[in-house]
Amino acid sequence: MKLLPCSAAKTSSPAIQNSVEDELEMATVRHRPEALELLEAQSKFTKKELQILYRGFKNECPSGVVNEETFKEIYSQFFPQGDSTTYAHFLFNAFDTDHNGAVSFEDFINGLSILLRGTVQEKLNWAFNLYDINKDGYITKEEMLDIMKAIYDMMGKCTYPVLKEDAPRQHVETFFQKMDKNKDGVVTIDEFIESCQKDENIMRSMQLFENVI
């Protein structure tokens, strides 16, 4: 089974040097991605796209997996005007589907595939998982507020020159009033998806999380 190639470009070195380089690489990389064909079948990326993504992933994470601290460091580079630490924590947990404290290349590809090329249903399922912080199958008002505050913190005050302190809470109150159909204080995945699909304003608001991925 073919494995994704390493990102290091091979030069016209003697064969024996290449062999040594290969051995060193195998010693360094503790986690190997699944067969390329399997990832291609599971995701919405082509083989060429997967190769390019893997080179970039391995360049940032030579071990083949990303822990939370590394994830936060990488993510903070995209939002220097704000504090992305908390949002990156929630995002990391959404990518870490098996909850082992690490995001593998497979985890990364599966999440990215949904966010970039998934159906509306797949994206909403992923968004629900992001907001369901404790993964109990429900979104509480406090969970949504935690996510919303994290997004506002990440975007930075300069993005919202007239932002009031209670803006995240007001945003969440609006969401919950529309989503919590039976008024039991929690939002189920069915309520979440139904509300998002029927309400254009909510759908536009939900684009916020996609724009910060």
Report residue 130 as tokens.
């992001």
Residue 148 has pLDDT above 80, yes or no: yes
CA distance 105 to 90: 18
pTM: 0.73
Residue type, 67: N
Q: Which residue has the higher pLDDT, 179 or 207?
A: 179
Name the H helices within the chain.
15-28, 36-42, 47-60, 68-76, 85-95, 105-117, 120-131, 141-155, 167-179, 189-198, 200-211
Give pLDDT, residue 167. 78
Supply the mean pLDDT for the chain.
Answer: 79
Going by pLDDT thresholds of 50, 70 and 90, the confidence category of residue 206 is low
Residue 190 has pLDDT above 60, yes or no: yes
Going by pLDDT thresholds of 50, 70 and 90, the confidence category of residue 3 is very low
Going by pLDDT thresholds of 50, 70 and 90, the confidence category of residue 115 is confident
Give pLDDT, residue 15. 52
Q: Nearest 5°: phi and psi at 87?
A: -65, -40
Going by pLDDT thresholds of 50, 70 and 90, the confidence category of residue 196 is confident
With a pLDDT cut of 70, the percent of the chain lying above it is 74
Q: How many CB atoms lie within 10 A of CB 63?
A: 14
Going by pLDDT thresholds of 50, 70 and 90, the confidence category of residue 143 is very high
